[in-house]
A and B are shown apart, each in its own frame.
Chain A
């Protein structure tokens, strides 16, 4: 066991997992917010675009998106982010995680929007705020506060789903695990180390999210 720990770069693998998770979280929060705004927009075409995006991407397996980014986009369409295959795969993994989890972020935010009484939007409009200002100042802040718990679940799911990046050769934690299992042995100890590694990332996040969702809840 000690030899395995010494011969493989566990810290580097988990660091890659953290990078994928952080960048994917930022990407999915940004894109998810945009899609959520589309889904509540007063213009039917924009709403249809938002709904179309969620229905298409959410119903596609993440594995398929990951593989498509390399086999489809890089090899067939020649969309290469970097000449370095590892870097290229890493950034495609970030993009696919963002695209995929944006749908969950969007739906979490939309459930948050639905907790806001209609009078809040009416009051915002009645003091002369434009649609964009109403969103920024009144609706989105309340939607975020009302959806911290489901947003937290979406981010925890994203952290664990970053393991799918191993499919396209990103040696994050799960990639390293299959390497270790293949080259050395599949002992319970090896699985345990990786399971604990993920637990260390996700468990505090879950606790923090629960605490925040209570503390930041909008009092009505």
Chain B
């Protein structure tokens, strides 16, 4: 068996006195979809952002495809190109059109010719269902559409793994599903995904594993149905009872 695509061992991080990540060990294999779940402040978003080093960490190691995460500079930029990231607040480049948002990375980082980059970008925009908006700027699109563009922007880099940091938390309820549909399709296509979310429907449908975090630690790891039906730890039971009562 090949080594895992993403491998975290003994990762520690503090925000001042707060120990936000405590000895985190996590392995994600190629093609696997892992959900990070937990109460706010549990460290799940920080963990997600640590994997492409938008957050630094103090000790431990993170390997992507067997290569340690570089600390800075060109090498780090190269690695980030292989790790897609989708943010809660979309973060589309506000001054560029939808099409330019998707072609920027392939042209500047992968050095693709404009025509090739645009051709692929249009295919990706087609895939996420916003191709007809290609000439608009992000502010003219709904949240759900913007988030689907953000997914296309990541996909354009052909990432080895994609990180999703609460991708539907900033969306109006009626737009959540259009984004989740794209993510389910992506999971089915074999993309390796690490997703911070509370969308249990998505977890049940697409995830291979749920990782439950609390107070900076990984408390429980299980397959989705097992985790939601039969949480082992009291902390997971307590958390699920709070989000499932309504």
- Chain A residues close to B by CB (< 8 Å): 117, 119-120, 122-130, 133, 137-138, 141-142, 145, 218-220
Contact = CB atoms under 8 A, between A and B. Distances in A.
Interface in B86-118: 87, 89-95, 104-105, 108-109
Given A119-B91, A142-B95, A126 B85 contact: yes
B157 A127 contact: yes
A220 B94 contact: yes
Interface of B: 52, 54, 73-74, 77-85, 87, 89-95, 104-105, 108-109, 137-140, 150, 153-154, 157
Given A122-B87, A141-B95, A145-B95, A127 B137 contact: no
Contacts of B92: 123
A128 B54 contact: no
B109 A120 contact: no
Contact of B95 (A127, A130, A133, A218): A218
B89 A119 contact: yes
Given A124-B93, A125-B54, A126-B80, A137 B87 contact: no
A219 B94 CA distance: 7
Contacts, number: 75
A218 B94 CA distance: 6
A5 B35 CA distance: 81
Given A126-B80, A127-B154, A142 B94 contact: yes
9 contacts: A120-B94, A123-B87, A123-B93, A128-B109, A130-B77, A137-B108, A138-B93, A218-B94, A219-B137
A109 B219 CA distance: 47
Contacts of A220: 94, 139
A110 to B, nearest CB: 18
Closest 3 CB pairs of A and B: A128-B81, A219-B139, A119-B91
B80 A127 contact: yes
A129 B105 contact: yes
B77 A128 contact: yes
Given A119-B87, A122-B54, A123-B87, A129 B108 contact: yes
B105 A128 contact: yes
B127 to A, nearest CB: 18
Contacts of B78: 128
Contacts of A218: 94-95
Contacts of A122: 54, 85, 87, 91
Contacts of A137: 93, 104, 108
Contact of B108 (A120, A126, A133, A141): A133
A142 B93 CA distance: 9
A126 B139 contact: no
A75 to B, nearest CB: 47
